[in-house]
Amino acid sequence: MANIGIRLLEKSFGRPSGPLGRVGGWLMAWRNAATERHLVDVAELRQQDVVLILGPGPGVGLEAAGERSGHVIGIDPSEVMLTSCRRRCAELIRRGRVRLVRGVADDTGRPAGSVDAVLAVNNVQIWPDWRAGFGELHRVLRPGGRLLLSAHEKWLPGGLPALAAAVEQAGFEEIQTWTWEPPGRGAATAAQLRAWRADG
C-alpha cells in the first residue's frame, strides 16, 4: 500500500508523468507560484545573467526569470513538465529568452563556469545524490555566481542545517538560510538558502 502511495506521489509531483502528472502540474502552478516568484525576486536577476532553473515543473518561476533575464535555461527530467513550460513560456521561448533542456541536477550538460545563477524550488529534496548535484552546480557556476534553493520545510530531510552542510561541502561560501511564509491560508513554510561560488 505504501509503495502505491509513493508511486502516485512520484507520478504526480516527483517526476510528473501521464494524466496524474498533468494534474500535479496544475496543482503546483497554483500552490507554489508565490514561492517560485519570491525566489526569483531574491535572486536579483539582471538582464545579462545566464540563469539555470532546475526542476521548473509547470514553469511559473521560469516565466518570472525569463521576464528579467535574457538567457534562462530550464532543466527538468519530466516530458510532461517540459511541455507545460513550453506552453507557459511560449512567447519567451520565441524571443530566445528561455530554453528548455531535458536533464537533472547532477547532469546539466552546461559548460563549466558558464552560469551566473542557479535556482531550484521544491526539488532539492528529491535529488538522489546531493554530493553529485551540488558538485555539478559548483562546476557550472562562474566564480562569484550564486545558488538559490527553496523547499517545503516539512519535506526537507535534515532541514536547513543538513542542506547548508551539503552546499558547504561542495565548496560554496557565504551560505545564508532562512524560512519564508508564502501568502495564503495553509501554505507550506519554505526553507530557503543562498550561497556563492568563491570569486577567483
Ligand X SMILES: C[S@@+](CC[C@H](N)C(=O)[O-])C[C@H]1O[C@@H](n2cnc3c(N)ncnc32)[C@H](O)[C@@H]1O
**Contacting residues toward ligand X, per CB under 6 A:** 13-16, 28, 32, 36, 54-57, 76-78, 81, 104-105, 121-123, 126-127
What is the smallest separation between the CB atom of 24 and ligand X, expressed in angstroms?
A: 8
Query: Which residues does 38 contact at the CB level (< 8 Å), separation at least 6?
Result: 150, 180, 182, 190
**Angle of helix 33-43 versus helix 18-31 axis, rounded to 10:** 60
What is the smallest separation between the CB atom of 173 and ligand X, expressed in angstroms?
A: 23
Nearer to ligand X, 69 or 122 (CB): 122
Nearer to ligand X, 32 or 192 (CB): 32
Cβ-contact 56, 81 below 8 angstroms:
yes
Nearer to ligand X, 41 or 174 (CB): 41
What is the smallest separation between the CB atom of 86 and ligand X, expressed in angstroms?
A: 13
Partners of residue 75 on adjacent β-strands: 54, 101
Distance of CA 135 to the CA centre of its chain: 16
Nearer to ligand X, 36 or 116 (CB): 36
What is the smallest separation between the CB atom of 171 and ligand X, expressed in angstroms?
A: 20
**Residue 66 corresponds to which cell in the numbers above?**
525569463
**Residue 30 corresponds to which cell in the numbers above?**
497554483
